[in-house]
Amino acid sequence: MAEANPISRRSVMEAMGAVLLYATASTAQNAQGAPPGPRKQVFQHDLPDLTLKGWSVTVVEVRYAPGQSSVPHHHPGLTFAYVLEGEVVSKIGEDPERTYKTGEMFMETPNQVHAVSRNASTTKPARLLALLLAEKGATLTTPEKP
């Protein structure tokens, strides 16, 4: 039996770079000829020891209407979220609740409970781009049981 390939930080970072490039493309287009600025680190986090053999990546845009929230849930693999617009309040695992603003990013490890995920504003929409890495065919979001 072939040994599974360990997750490569480089491959994850390359995927994240592609997602960030997509996420910031509209901002760059709106700059209307402004010269590029210095690069700014948006996110850094150690990765758990996983293998990616038989995994795939799914990228979804999550839109929250003013005041809208998601039910507590978890994902089977790694999830990276980048706030595209507005502010999103999130509580993941044992970490305290935190508000992420446009241009900020957070990560969920496999099966970590995402207890709070909501638009921080009751008057403006919020959007985030979520990159989900999981085994092929896995259910990507599972609501937590009460």
pLDDT digits (tens, 9 = 90+) for 84-107: 999 999 999 999 999 999 999 999
Residue 1 lies in a domain: no
CATH number at residue 108: 2.60.120.10
- Residue 117 belongs to some domain of the structure: yes
Domain range spanning residue 123?
Answer: 9-31+43-136
Mean pLDDT of 134-142: 94
| Side chain identity, residue 63 | R
Number of other residues whose CB lies within 10 A of the CB of residue 75: 21
- Residue at 144 is within a domain: no
The set of residues, in sequence order, having a beta carbon less than 8 Å from that of 129 and lying 6+ positions away, is 19, 22, 23, 59, 60, 61, 62, 81, 82, 84
Q: Which of 60, 109, 113, 108 is nearest to 84 (CA)?
A: 60
In a domain, 83, yes or no: yes
What is the count of structural domains for the chain?
1
Residue 37 covered by a domain:
no
Specify the pLDDT at position 82: 96
Share of the chain above pLDDT 70, in %: 76
